[in-house]
Amino acid sequence: MTGGIVNNLVNSAQSENIDDLYEEASHWHVNTGDETIHAKRLAGRFRTYKWLGHALYLLFFLGPYLRWEDSQAILYDIPGRKFHFFDLTILPQDVWILSLILMFFAILMVVVTAIVGRLWCGYFCFQTAWTDVFTWIEGKIEGDPAKRRKLDDAAWSSEKIRKRGIKHTLWLLISVLTGISFTAWFTDAYQLWSDLFTLDAAFMSWVTIGTFTAGTYVLAGFMREQVCLWLCPYARIQGVFYDRDTELPTYDFNRGEPRGKLRKGENTEGKGDCVACNQCVAVCPTGIDIRAGQQEGCITCGLCIDACDMVMDKVGKSRGLVRYASLDEIQGIDVPPVYKRPRIIASSALIMIAVFGIIYGLTHLGSLELKVLHERQPLFVQQSDGTIQNKYYFKMLNKTDKEMQVKITVDESINGLTMIGADKTIAVGSGDLRSHTIFVKVPNGFISAPRLPVIFHLSDASDPDTMVTYESMFFGPKH
C-alpha cells in the first residue's frame, strides 16, 4: 500500500519534465524587498474608500488635544495607573473590561475577515495608511513610478539630492509628529509640547518619541509591504479566517482566460476578457499579481479592482473582471447569506457577550471597592470575657477623584455580635487602597456552627448610596 503511493509519487515526478519544473520555478517571485515597489496611483472607488479609512487616523493626531474639565479627555496615565476617558476614570482593578474590549476587537476581526477579507489590512491598518501617505509624498516629489525607478538608478546629482532631501525631510516630519502624537496619549499633550521645546520632557517621553519616529520612518519609508509579507502576524493568520464564502478581490478567471493582448483588427473570438495590460499588477502596493489567485501578499485593498474597471471601461467591456467575490461565487456555487454561516453566528454571539460585559462593566464601575480578608492564623481567639474574636483585614479602594470618609458597618447576623475598630470614619485618598483592621466578637454561647456568615458594608459617610457589601466568615470553636 505504502509502496504504491511512493511509486505513484516517483512516477508523477518522473513524468513531468524536470525543465518544466525549472520553468515553473522561474515564475516564483519571492518578494524579499530587494526591489522597491513603485506602485502606480489611479483614482477610483476603492482609492476613495482607502483615503476615508486612513482619515480615521486624524483622531490619533488630534485626540490628545481634547480637554475635559481642565484635564486631558483621554489619557492613559501609566505612572498613576489610571485611565481617564472623559468622565470615567478606570483603575487597574477594572482592567478586566479592557480584556473584554480586546476580545471584542479580536473576534470582530475574525468575523470581518470571514465576511470581507482583510478589511483592516487594506483600509485601516496604520502600516497601510502611513505607507500610503509616504508613497503619495514620494510620488508628488519624484514623479510617477517610471521616473522614480529612474531616479533610484540614477547617479547622485544635485537634482537627486534635492528631491531625496525634501522627501526624507517630509517623511521624518511625519514620523516625529507620529511619535509626539503617540506619546501625547500617555502624558498631558500641551505640557508635552512645551516640555519638548524647553527640552524638559521626561526621559520616557524622549525614548517613546524616538522609538516611534524611527519605527515610522523605517517601517513606512523603507520596509513598506515587507512588513505585511514577513513581519506582521495577522497577515499570516488570516488564512484560517477565510473560507470559500469570504468576499475578496478576485480575478474572474472563467471570464478572463485565456488572456491576451488586444490588437487592433484582431479577432477576439475564443479569447478571454483579460487584455493582459498588467495594470492590476502596476497599482498593487504589495507588488502581487491578483490573477495568480488569492495569496498571502494580498492586503485586499481593492486598488486592482479600480485599475481593471478603468481598463474595462476603455476597451468597452463590462466592469468586474477583478471584483470582490468569493471562491464559490466565481465557481458558480451558491453562497449562503452571511447570517446563515455558522462561523459568523458563533463569532457574533461571542462579540455580543463581550459587548454586554463591557456595558455592564462601564455602568457598574462604582466609586468604592471592598475586599475583606479573614485572618487565618489564628482563625479565632478566645477572649477572657468568654467571647470569641475574629480578625479581618479590610482593603478599601476609593475610585473617585476626591478623598472620601468611609464608614464600616456590619449586619447583626449573629446574636451578640460586636465590632471593634469601626467607631470612627476612615479617610481614603483618591485612588488609594487603604487597609484597616477590624475585630468582631461574639459570645461563645451564641456560636451555633464553626463557620457563620458575617456581612460587612462600606459606604461613603456623606453619601450612604455608595454602599458596597462583602460577605465573609466568622470562625468559632466546634461545640
Alpha helices in 261-321 (DSSP H): 279-282, 303-315
Given the complex with another protein, which of 35 and 463 has the nearer CB atom? 35
Contact call for residues 286 and 132 (beta carbons, < 8 A): no
Which three-class secondary structure state does DSSP give residue 433? strand
Stretch that binds another protein, among 29-37, 85-93, 204-212, 277-285 (CB under 8 A): 29-37
Question: Which positions ≥6 away from 254 have C-beta within 8 Å?
Answer: 330
The minimum distance between CB 382 and another protein, in angstroms, equals 6
Which amino acid appears at position 41 of this protein? R
Q: Binding marks (x or -) toward another protein, 305..324, rule CB under 8 A?
A: --------------------
* DSSP string of 75-96, one letter each residue: EEETTTTEEEETTEEE-GGGTH
Q: Is 439 in the site for another protein (CB under 8 A)?
A: yes
- Binding-site member from 1, 5, 6, 25 for another protein (CB under 8 A): 25
219 three-state secondary structure = helix
Contact assessment for residue 224 and residue 37, using Cβ atoms and an 8 Å cutoff? yes
Grouping H, G, I as helix, E, B as strand and the rest as coil, residue 348 is helix
CA separation for the pair 28, 253 (Å, rounded): 20
Record the cell numbers describing residue 349, joined without a space.
454571539
Task: State the burial class of residue 36 (Cβ atoms within 10 Å of its Cβ: 0-12, 13-18, 19+).
Answer: middle
Angle subtended at Cα 172 by Cα 167 and Cα 175, rounded to the nearest 5 degrees: 130
267: left (phi over 0), alpha (psi -120 to 50) or beta: beta
Spatial distance between the Cα atoms of 370 and 394, rounded to a whole number of angstroms: 7
Question: If binding is defined by CB under 8 A, does position 383 make contact with another protein?
Answer: yes
- 267 binding another protein? (CB under 8 A): no
Nearer to another protein, 351 or 417 (CB): 417
- Candidate ranges 98-106, 126-134, 222-230, 322-330; the one touching another protein (CB under 8 A): 222-230
**Residue among 293 and 477 whose Cβ is closer to another protein:** 477
* Nearest distance in Å: CB 375, another protein: 6
**Is 14 a binder of another protein (CB under 8 A)?**
no
Q: Give the binding-site size for another protein (rule: CB under 8 A).
A: 28
Q: What does the angle CA 200 – CA 216 – CA 166 come to, to the nearest 5 degrees?
A: 90
* Cβ distance to another protein smaller for residue 118 or 224: 224
Residues 156-185 contacting another protein, CB under 8 A: none
CB of 421 to another protein, least distance (A): 10
* 445 binds another protein per the rule CB under 8 A: no
Which x/- pattern, by CB under 8 A, does the window 225-264 give for another protein? -x---x----------------------------------
Residue 203 interacts with another protein (CB under 8 A)?
A: no
Among 326, 300, 323, smallest CA distance to 118 is for: 300
With cell 481642565, the residue in question is 70
Sheet with 404-410: list strands edge to edge.
Answer: 426-428, 404-410, 451-460, 463-475
| Closest approach of another protein to the CB of residue 149, in Å | 18
> Is residue 127 within 8 Å of 226, Cβ to Cβ?
no
Nearer to another protein by Cβ, of 92 and 386: the residue is 386
Please pick, from the candidates 2, 14, 26, 267, the single residue that binds another protein as defined by CB under 8 A. Answer: 26
Q: How far apart are CA 167 and CA 119, in angstroms?
A: 29
Stretch that binds another protein, among 204-212, 249-257, 374-382, 470-478 (CB under 8 A): 374-382
- Note whether 477 binds another protein by CB under 8 A: no
Residues 6+ apart with CB under 8 A from 463: none
Q: What is the per-residue binding string for another protein in 398-437, x denoting contact by CB under 8 A? A: -------------------------------------x-x
- The letter for the amino acid at 205 is S
Query: Does 20 sit near another protein (CB under 8 A)?
Result: no
By the rule CB under 8 A, 207 interacts with another protein: no
34 binds another protein per the rule CB under 8 A: yes
Stretch near another protein under the rule CB under 8 A, chosen from 53-61, 377-385, 406-414, 455-463 = 377-385
Tell me which residues touch another protein (CB under 8 A).
18-19, 22, 25-26, 30, 32-34, 222-223, 226, 230, 375-378, 381-386, 389, 391, 435, 437, 439
